[in-house]
Structure 1
């Protein structure tokens, strides 16, 4: 459909602030829900041709499927590790399970290679037939409880299962050439995997099904179907994910533009039919149930959740009182939400988009991009100054002589080659600092550009240190959602806001921050089981069923 500009897009200066990004929720355009619809539409059938496990669940298994005319296999390998080896940290060297998403169906020799090498993760090397590499640890408390309940035919601790939401949590899901696995170019044009992170999401969904099978094998009988639906895959995510949003500005723009365009379309609906109103009423109630089941240990995060619950009750009351009967009902709700918390505003966005797949699902085709912008040397210095004034006032106005504005620095650790965030007052950044100081780079460019009376080419010949900043300024002209509009080296920067934004696009739920630097989440909770892909449109705000 054509994008009718009845209602404008939300301005990027609001959308791309860390405080709002850190309140993001998944939508039906997120990658996991999108993948479920792809699998459903392609009538994908998951098979398990190999299950070579001992009584304690140690061994390997293979799951296979055909999607878009291509065959894929997940090889899962389980090993015995000591309790003290079980860690969410990237420095861990042993895991309960390791996984490879394989391009094709592995023969005996390839299976043997993967069974040998997958548990070693980065200590091993992989091939271009290996599309994704992952590892996971059991939630020992939950896994042991479920096994004992299955073996002894006793009641499950539903509160434990509900509050955790998974049997295993991944600590890494690697794609795109890591440790020798396939580059994205190998699958970028394939049906089903062409969208961003589709191979990784397929891996996570298959891992989730494997965890259900593993606990059933060790416990001697399967979990009830309704309980399996409510059990996803946990994930522990830290700083390694954050720089991606800075180093891929065009992708960041594409994701946000798709979501904001979806919101614009549904806000432009003048009148809702009866079926759509009934669906939205049901979704509002489901969201309330989801919020009641979401609790975290962090007191600040829990306070935000409790406030959101209260605000959501207000929305439910509005919906019951006939708010959806008003002209342009969704636009009215969005306008009214401005006096509420950012968490409520962003959950309302997700809620507003969810019932309108027929209006918005085509936007997922716009969320992948391979743009690699070059500097436009034909731009005049005056035009560059104008772009800085129009798009970058938030950065140009910062005073980097103030210690709090440059208190942090990003770098890559030598041991694990993973991003880290240092304190400039306690550590020497030196030549090891990563160039995530975008605001400071822009400020320096603006300062040096003030008195320039030459061509842009001449300016960059004399000041080549500004090439990266010039490229970013030019990028933002045509991609307004490409930049996080906050200072990423300020003392007040909370990287967890960046993590939540990206994880919401993945389809993550139950955000459980452990600090400003890392969080636990749940993926694929409420997703269809292998044999019920017809439920692909029933993932939003998953609720753990009591029976």
Structure 2
């Protein structure tokens, strides 16, 4: 509680110029507001019940399984199909046509006719079609080295090698989780009003969580069928350390540009959470102990995080040094002083790298679920609200917005080849975003409007000779090519974190920064870039399985526990 001798401290959210830089967005970590954690908290708090309704899988891993979660009002079922895929047919590429397993999340409980229909369509993925009863479509491939090792070890009655499990972290990785109308599945609008799906991407997060349950059941069943007299199951603590891998490429990167209001709401919630924690005037013994424990566990998790990409290698080195520095600082820090979390944050802003600062943000939220978790309800968006352009806005007002939001773009020479080195376009074959080289590929007719900074400068130049009090409607009647830039500027004037404040078509663009920002909000960890354009991650590593959701401490899985942090 604040006392008469404790001066009131006003805490404001960080500015967009600080937060919305690609290097910082590419340093984000999962947090209490990540969508996986939001989902599991809701399922636990509302008493959702798990049921494995069907599991008909043979020794090769071929068959069908049905996993159902029963909620207060509705049930949802993962229908999983296992396949016998030849090694030469296994590929993580989006153009693949066969996978080790394919899935759909069904709205309700499927009957035999539903499963027969899905069995003919889901294994085809893009080649098939589904109905509005299906909420997502997905597929996954084995991580052959660990998958085969786990099955062989269990069949022999042994536990899998814990070091190998720690190094790899998953026995299957998804290569796509489609929702929101893809392939005929239910539109987002059709289910968005359901309470369980109000936060973003809850369908997809539920799908992946149930896929993880199926995958671990699959390896244990294959081991049992291979050697019924000797086979065992994975020890629970070790089992939880196996997540679901994912390979994510360029297709996800433009999402952050194409959904400015939604992205603003994600960032706004995260920044508000940080501001609320910094504004707490007194810590408690419980929050102090929790922070210290989470710091210890984060350092342990960092030891499991590996990458060969030079950018990530450098960031991991910075993060290790940062956490060492933070630990040393905490040993000499008195958290009983007024506004201890603000003091800690201000110290971190001065002494830690961007990677370390964003990890500190996540750690500061950990002990404060009571002031943070409710913000998850603010992270969705009605994006159609931003489509209508205010034609009465004056040219002067629009110029002011452009200067405020896109001021950084004035520092670039937009005529230089390196400033427009890349072109975003959509592949005709796969209908997926791609990134071309402007100087070497003739893509002008196919370019997507994914360069807000450049387009804002073009708009600003076009407005140069117009009177300040002229309404923008007249300008747009004569120059409709600028409508999208006017719309974005008006959105950004109301939603401060809507725009990335870097060049998204420059020669130095690292699309993996955009991928990591989005994936951190999903709750992914252990980012491992394989190039500047795609990344491997781990999802739900350490999380409870559906059958143990109500038996383990709530939301205590994001950082692996150690004896020192228990």
Which TM-score applies when normalising by structure 1?
0.97
Instruction: Using the TM superposition, give the Cα deviation of residue 191 of structure 1 relative to its aligned residue in structure 2, in angstroms.
Output: 2.1
Q: Which residue of 2 aligns with 1:473?
A: 489
1:370 matches 2:382: yes
Instruction: Using the TM superposition, give the Cα deviation of residue 389 of structure 1 relative to its aligned residue in structure 2, in angstroms.
Output: 1.6
Instruction: Using the TM superposition, give the Cα deviation of residue 45 of structure 1 relative to its aligned residue in structure 2, in angstroms.
Output: 1.4
Q: Which residue of 1 aligns with 2:439?
A: 425
**Residue of 368, 372, 385 corresponding to 1:360:** 372
1:347 matches 2:363: no
Which TM-score applies when normalising by structure 2?
0.94
* C-alpha separation in 2, matches of 1:198 and 1:246: 21
Task: Give the root-mean-square deviation of aligned CA atoms.
Answer: 1.4
The 8 Å contact of residues 33 and 539 in structure 1, kept in 2 or not, is answered as no
Q: Which residue of 2 aligns with 1:215?
A: 219
* Count of matched residue pairs: 542
Is the partner of 1:325 in helix, strand or coil? Answer: coil
Alpha-carbon spacing, 1:5–1:417, altered in 2? closer, same or farther (3 Å): farther
1:461 matches 2:477: yes
Q: Which moved more, 1:90-99 or 1:289-298?
A: 289-298
The 8 Å contact of residues 409 and 434 in structure 1, kept in 2 or not, is answered as yes
* C-alpha separation in 1, matches of 2:219 and 2:131: 30
Q: Which residue of 2 aligns with 1:541?
A: 559
Deviation per residue, 1:187-238 (Å, 9 max, x gap):
1011211210000000000001111100110112321100111111000000
Q: Which residue of 2 aligns with 1:322?
A: 333
Q: Which residue of 1 aligns with 2:538?
A: 522
Instruction: Using the TM superposition, give the Cα deviation of residue 530 of structure 1 relative to its aligned residue in structure 2, in angstroms.
Output: 1.3
* Unaligned runs of at least 5 residues, structure 2: 1-7, 225-231
Q: Which residue of 1 aligns with 2:283?
A: 272
Q: Which residue of 1 aligns with 2:227?
A: none
* C-alpha separation in 2, matches of 1:274 and 1:430: 60
Q: Which residue of 2 aligns with 1:65?
A: 69
Alpha-carbon spacing, 1:68–1:469, altered in 2? closer, same or farther (3 Å): farther
Q: Which residue of 2 aligns with 1:95?
A: 99
The 8 Å contact of residues 61 and 84 in structure 2, kept in 1 or not, is answered as no
Matches within 5 A, 1:32-431: 32-220=36-224, 221-338=232-349, 339-372=351-384, 373=386, 374-431=388-445
* C-alpha separation in 2, matches of 1:472 and 1:383: 14
* C-alpha separation in 1, matches of 2:328 and 2:180: 47
* C-alpha separation in 2, matches of 1:470 and 1:211: 48
* C-alpha separation in 1, matches of 2:302 and 2:478: 56
Q: Which moved more, 1:149-158 or 1:260-269?
A: 149-158
* C-alpha separation in 2, matches of 1:147 and 1:43: 33
1:482 matches 2:498: yes
Instruction: Using the TM superposition, give the Cα deviation of residue 115 of structure 1 relative to its aligned residue in structure 2, in angstroms.
Output: 1.4
* C-alpha separation in 2, matches of 1:282 and 1:18: 30
Is the partner of 1:324 in helix, strand or coil? Answer: coil
* Unaligned runs of at least 5 residues, structure 1: none
* C-alpha separation in 2, matches of 1:391 and 1:194: 29
Instruction: Using the TM superposition, give the Cα deviation of residue 316 of structure 1 relative to its aligned residue in structure 2, in angstroms.
Output: 1.5
Q: Which moved more, 1:187-196 or 1:256-265?
A: 187-196
* C-alpha separation in 1, matches of 2:178 and 2:154: 33
The 8 Å contact of residues 79 and 103 in structure 2, kept in 1 or not, is answered as yes
The 8 Å contact of residues 16 and 496 in structure 2, kept in 1 or not, is answered as yes
Instruction: Using the TM superposition, give the Cα deviation of residue 154 of structure 1 relative to its aligned residue in structure 2, in angstroms.
Output: 3.3
